[in-house]
């Protein structure tokens, strides 16, 4: 969501960060993989061709990059990380702790976190309502 607003380098750094997050608890689930594919489509073919799909050796360097980013970029990055963790109904504590560490590192307030989570819930609710409407 809103990944197209990021610069080329921000997109590449985001992909690195999201790969670190989904690997916290092992391999990505099928649902996480599907969402990653959607995110790849959103960042564009040029970025996908450029990205190596391997974890960077220095997660701290990636976090440092976003620490210096604008509040909008930080919020877009965090929103999409939230979306990945909230896409399925399985609650993973390792991902939760990773997200909390990222939130603190980026200086995202608890209030902003709640606002971003609400966006993810609203999107999920809209998708479920649409499924019900088209099914009946």
pLDDT, position 34: 78
- Give the number of other Cβ atoms within 10 Å of residue 6's Cβ: 21
Reported as a single tens digit per residue, the pLDDT across 78-109 is 999 998 888 766 667 888 899 999 999 999 99
Domain hosting residue 126, numbered range: 3-135
On the CB side of 60, CA atoms within 13 Å amount to 0
**CATH number, domain with residue 78:** 1.10.3680.10
Intervals of the chain under pLDDT 70: 48, 51-56, 88-91
What tokens does 95 get? Answer: 């991902």
pLDDT of residue 56: 64
Report the domain count for the chain. Answer: 1
CA distance 39 to 16: 12
What is residue 99's predicted lDDT score, i.e. its pLDDT?
Answer: 93
């Amino acid at each position: 969501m809103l990944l197209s607003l990021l610069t080329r380098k921000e997109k590449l750094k985001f992909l690195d960060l999201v790969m670190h997050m989904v690997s916290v608890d092992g391999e990505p689930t099928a649902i996480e993989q599907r969402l990653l594919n959607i995110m790849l489509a959103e960042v564009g073919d040029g970025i996908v061709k450029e990205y190596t799909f391997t974890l960077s050796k220095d997660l701290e360097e990636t976090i440092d990059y976003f620490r210096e980013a604008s509040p909008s970029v930080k919020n877009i990055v965090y929103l999409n990380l939230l979306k990945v963790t909230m896409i399925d109904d399985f609650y993973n504590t390792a991902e939760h702790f990773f997200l909390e560490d990222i939130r603190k590192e980026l200086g995202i307030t608890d209030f902003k976190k709640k606002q971003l989570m609400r966006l993810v819930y609203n999107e999920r609710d809209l998708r479920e309502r649409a499924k019900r409407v088209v099914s009946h």
